[in-house]
Structure 1
């Protein structure tokens, strides 16, 4: 027997045991900070692999890691015959452990409808019953025109008893004549953050909405009557606007006149005459986010109130110059942060941008978050909002 090797192995094992003991006795606050640090990747997506690995480090870590893992859940395709997803899931409410995890969930992403990849409306009602503190609902409609009146009634009854008081709705992919969006909005007058990812041609309800929006995000322009209905009760509440389609002049004028005085954050993909008019009408802007830079023919004039300026320069709409941003920075006395996509690091105007920020001690940050990854649906004290574990306290 090699005594020296044996001694080395014993010493190494003692060192590992000492490390494990030290890890096991870390304060819970520090453990939470560690887990929070790895929660999101640079692309804004939850790093589930790292969280699962952290859960295996120590049993003391497992509970906290699981709670974070279940903050956001996605129900993907389930084959026919497995529609009882609730009873098969770890959040099954008939189990004490499942009930506990169900109370952790703040965000749910589900396909609903009659197609094979979707859950039936009945299963959705059952699933929502097991998530009493759900905050954000992302829903994709599959081969379904509308909910049955009985389903809508059941959802309303659920909300009126112990069901989730949803604050954020992200709505995707139904037929443009479908009334489902209006049905969902009638169920949850608590909704404050609304993202609509599609065109909509269904006429709005006759009755005015029971909700007041703080944020409206549109992937496509809506008919004017639908837009007016959605915002008819939000003149004093709308603060966040995200426009990802080419705005028409009527849209720009309406938003500037009726909501510009309250808007704190404005995001756009296309800069044109209507966008410029909207910007002029938003005199209290604190944040401007440009998913593409304006064409060189436009003069970009931003309110002096802007504190956070963010821009993307994507390959599919790459601008050879950052002139608009470079000219804006010296004219914004309250500016305290600039963010850009990672590709701007290598842009020819990148060194000039860095110098302008350094001269005023303004942080210049780069991230890899693509525009289809949405920020957390919360109302921030300061911008940028982003995606952060710290926002969970606003989702209770």
Structure 2
């Protein structure tokens, strides 16, 4: 084992890269890195793939490791594919928005950036210009937290038009510019790029996750260029009529839809999704207020669900009926908490065997992290090799 080629060692280590909850197995990788010198390189390259939980107290240490030596530090920086950092306002003037640009420069192959900003805006043109250059390879952006009035999303999507995967964790209440037409005298002085930006975001999103719906004008702006590209949509809040009207032009092209619960609003949106291949219901009620059949699109190939009930014995009859009614179904993912008791498990498994449907019963929640990749088929495979595909 100690004399195995580096490529083979790497593939052995990457098989154990993820824990059962979908996070990098840092404990395992650190142990491998300490075994011997030949193991250290491949293990450390995987350790640095996901640089997460960076914040005020450890970002400088992380950056120092990248600068430890010209050769080794550069090699480690080149390994990083995911950066996740939380930045708070501090009296330390060396720590702020420019830190993001500095780390992106030190990690030139990052394709996914996650930011939590507390009391900080990124709007100075000098900072934005450095971020623009440093983040040219970015494909995925997550804004975990930012102020509801902050223009950060608008600035970042302007300088990074190649973003295809976007997650927004906070509500955005308003556009950062007035929506009434500018007088001709002002219009002539406005930059052409800024005018295009006002008409709508130039990003062509493939995958969008919204924890809370933004204001309708913001949602329309965000999706302006994504009518032909949006394929995966995840909503933690169900859309009312206004939001459904905005999503109507995108729904027929969606391949995957992930919803926090199932009710009349869910059904209204599902009826517009005529080409859906995957449906994930994070919190299906024990007895849905609306039946699953005939409300689920017949095109579904992967149906995943979890049921929010830990006290009563839950009947799986609605799921059995859905399996029976969907001829294209190939995979059924069942999120089961150890505390839950279900009636009809044997019937469900027998029905799936008869129809050739794979059943995946797991205690891992449906909402574990998945790499931002273009999907061939659902469910998405979790593999370190996806890092290489995106870089």
Between 347-356 and 365-374, the greater mean CA deviation after superposition:
365-374
Q: Deviations over 1:325-363 (max 9, x none)?
A: 221111221211111223278422322222222222322
In the TM superposition, residue 31 of structure 1 has moved relative to its aligned partner by 2.6
73, 76, 80: which one aligns with 1:105: 80
TM-score normalised to structure 1 length:
0.85
Do the aligned residues in 2 keep the contact of 1:77 with 1:116 (CA within 8 Å)? no
Q: Is the 8 A contact 1:70 1:104 kept in 2?
A: yes
Q: For the residues of structure 1 that align with 2:125 and 2:383, how far apart are their CA atoms?
A: 38
**1:349 aligns with one of 341, 344, 349:** 344
* Deviation (angstroms), 1:315: 4.5
Q: Which residue in the other structure is 2:191 paired with?
A: none
Aligned equivalent of 1:373, options 368, 374, 389: 368
- Matching residue of 2:155: 183
Change (3 A) 1:188 1:309: same
| Cα deviations by residue, 1:173-212 (Å, 9 ceiling, x for unpaired) | 2111111111111121110000011111131552422210
1:63-83, CA deviations, whole angstroms, 9 ceiling, x for partnerless residues?
Answer: 11111111100253334xx87
Aligned residue in 2 for 1:273: 264
Q: Which runs of 5+ in 2 are unaligned?
A: 178-197
Distance 2:298 2:105 in 1: 47
Larger Rg: 1
Secondary structure of the 1:354 match is helix
Q: Give CA deviations for 1:358-386 in whole Å, capped at 9, x if unaligned.
A: 22232211334335533111111011115
Cα distance between partner residues in 2 of 1:83 and 1:61:
26
Residues of 2 paired with 1:349 and 1:92: CA distance? Answer: 58
Is the strand fraction higher in 1 or 2? 2
Instruction: Check if 1:166 corresponds to 2:158.
Output: no
Stretches of structure 1 lacking an aligned partner (at least 5 in a row) = 1-22
Return closer, same or farther for 1:85/1:50 CA change in 2, 3 Å cut-off: closer
The answer to whether structure 1 residue 329 and structure 2 residue 323 are counterparts is yes
Aligned-partner Cα distance in 1 for 2:90–2:291:
49
The TM-score normalised by the length of structure 2 is 0.86
8 Å CA contact 2:97–2:120 kept in 1: the answer is no
1:155 aligns with 2:131: yes
Structure 2 CA distance for aligned equivalents of residues 321 and 365 of structure 1: 18
Correspondences of 1:1-396 after superposition (within 5 Å): 23-79=1-57, 84-85=60-61, 87-88=63-64, 90-92=65-67, 95-115=70-90, 119-156=95-132, 158-159=133-134, 163-203=135-175, 206-255=198-247, 257-294=248-285, 295-300=287-292, 301-315=295-309, 320-343=314-337, 346-370=341-365, 373-396=368-391
